[in-house]
């Protein structure tokens, strides 16, 4: 086993405590230990883990929940934006690297299999999400969107976080980890961070059984397509079904569109 895997695992593990267990003392402790170990093992690894750590620290400073108060949305939005921008700016202009990229217009057409996969995402979301949200009661982690203003804020929030997930966990964390580990290891490491973040957002109970495989699939899909546009499309389609499922869960008497 490469010694480099130790600090990277500590970094991923810190996310479990920062966002999953919400134990900042242990989370920051593991984060610091990760960077210390990385500095001893390899300077380049330490720099790249520090970029991911910077993003994790930034987003750990704000409550990660579905509070749709405009002030909270602005604060959380600013933190999420900074968590992506800071690593990119340091990597691009201080380290002079081209690792963190956001490939939108790749010029490649999506093959038939990719288009069929999008339909499969709709089907999976339709049959899994309502059952998960309602049977566990975790839909209550998101507000009732009966009020039109809350309805549109929820729609905006769900989709904005979905786009951000791909910008940070895939285009930033996964891309940096791939510089040091085989793709499968880098994908596992980013998936731990990804699913830990989603736990605090609201995907609790047996949610990690959904979010962890989803994070792995998104990393693998990005590896195959090299397209931010495609992985964002997958995520937004899934999140649109999530949005409908949340509205349905809160208002089952007037929106009976799901089977559950």
The C-alpha atoms of residue 151 and residue 168 are separated, in whole angstroms, by 26
Domain ranges for the chain: 5-100+108-250
What is the number of other CB atoms lying within 10 angstroms of the CB of residue 18?
25
Mean pLDDT of 235-257: 81
pLDDT tens for each residue of 6-64 = 999 999 999 999 998 888 999 999 999 999 999 999 999 999 999 999 999 999 999 98
Report which of 2, 221, 259, 3 is spatially closest to residue 131, judged by C-alpha positions: 259
Mean pLDDT of the chain: 92
DSSP state of 251: -
The pLDDT score that the predictor gives to residue 66 is 84
pLDDT in tens, 149-178: 999 999 999 999 999 999 999 999 999 999
pLDDT of residue 255 exceeding 70: no
pTM: predicted TM-score of the whole model, two decimal places: 0.92
Phi, psi values for residue 226, rounded to 5°: 55, 30
* pLDDT confidence tier of residue 217, bands split at 50, 70 and 90: very high
149-180 burial: b if 16+ Cβ within 10 Å, else e: eebebbbebbbbbbbbbbbbbbbbbbbbbbeb
Report the C-alpha gap between 27 and 60 in whole angstroms.
10
Instruction: Tell whether the model's pLDDT for residue 1 goes beyond 70.
Output: no
Given a cut of 90, is residue 227 above it in pLDDT? Answer: yes
């Amino acid at each position: 086993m490469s010694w480099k895997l130790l600090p990277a695992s500590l970094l991923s593990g810190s996310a479990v405590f920062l966002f999953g267990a919400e134990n900042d003392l242990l989370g920051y402790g593991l984060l610091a230990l990760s960077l210390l170990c990385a500095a001893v093992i390899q300077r380049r690894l330490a720099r790249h883990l520090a970029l991911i750590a910077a993003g994790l620290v930034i987003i750990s400073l704000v409550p990660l929940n579905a509070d749709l108060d405009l002030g909270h949305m602005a604060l959380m939005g600013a933190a999420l934006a900074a968590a992506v921008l800071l690593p990119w700016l340091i990597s691009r202009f201080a380290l002079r690297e081209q690792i963190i990229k956001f490939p939108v217009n790749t010029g490649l057409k999506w093959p038939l299999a990719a288009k069929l996969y999008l339909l499969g995402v709709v089907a999976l979301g339709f049959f899994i999400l309502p059952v998960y949200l309602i049977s566990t009661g975790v839909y209550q982690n998101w507000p009732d969107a009966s009020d039109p203003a809350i309805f549109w804020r929820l729609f905006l929030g769900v989709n904005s976080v979905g786009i951000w997930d791909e910008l940070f966990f895939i285009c930033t964390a996964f891309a940096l980890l791939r510089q040091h580990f085989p793709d499968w290891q880098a994908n596992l490491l980013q998936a731990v961070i990804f699913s830990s973040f989603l736990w605090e957002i609201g995907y609790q109970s047996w949610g990690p059984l959904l979010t962890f495989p989803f994070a792995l699939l998104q990393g693998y899909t990005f590896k195959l397509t090299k397209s931010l546009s495609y992985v964002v499309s997958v995520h937004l389609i899934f999140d649109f079904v999530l949005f409908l499922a949340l509205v349905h869960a809160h208002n089952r008497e007037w929106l009976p569109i799901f089977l559950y």
